[in-house]
Amino acid sequence: AVLKRKCERNPDNIGFRLQLARHYLAARKPKEMNAVIDEVLRNPDRYENVYLTAGDFFVRFGRLDRAIAIYDQGAEKDPRRLSDYDNKKAQVLSMQGKFDEAFRLVEKTLARDPNNSVATALRGALRLKSRDHGEIAAAAADFEEIGRAHV
């Protein structure tokens, strides 16, 4: 009841909505949790970074397929932030063990946005997983590139 009132009194505060969704998750009420998140997603102009925030919510609780779906929705509805959504999606794909798919997505992001340091770091981390000496050397080059960009 307290969280519902906080949401009613602060309709533009996504944090309170996510607290309510987390409460429903803990109470094993997935229908109510999904209703809260769906309401947030129906009002993307009301909340800043709504798709990234909602996707991250599901990542925290291991609902990785739902997170990817929300990042895809964000990429479709907010294409100017496409690289941000693709970086998040690549991270989740990596968490799922889908390293090749994550690598292809990161490469696509870097083709579109070559100075994206997050995508460069992701590519380096994914290259380290290969255990191939050439890929490990390329990963080192990725990390050096990030270092040069931030000096």
pLDDT single digits (tens) 93-144: 999 999 999 999 999 999 999 999 999 999 999 999 888 888 888 888 888 8
Q: Could you give the CA distance from residue 132 to residue 1 in angstroms, rounded to a whole number? A: 55
**What is the phi/psi pair of residue 11, to 5°?**
-65, -20
The pLDDT-based confidence of 74 (bands split at 50, 70, 90) is: very high
How many other C-beta atoms can be found within 10 angstroms of the C-beta atom of residue 8? Answer: 9
**Long-range residue pairs from 120-124, CB within 8 A, at least 24 positions apart, any chain:** 120/145, 120/146, 121/146, 122/87, 122/90, 122/91, 122/94
- Euclidean distance between CA atoms 49 and 55, whole angstroms: 10
Separation of first and last alpha carbons in the chain: 50
* pTM given for the model: 0.90
Using 50, 70 and 90 to split pLDDT, how confident is the model at 150?
low
In degrees and rounded to multiples of 5, residue 27 shows phi and psi of -85, 5
Q: Distance between CA atoms of 13 and 27, rounded to whole angstroms?
A: 22
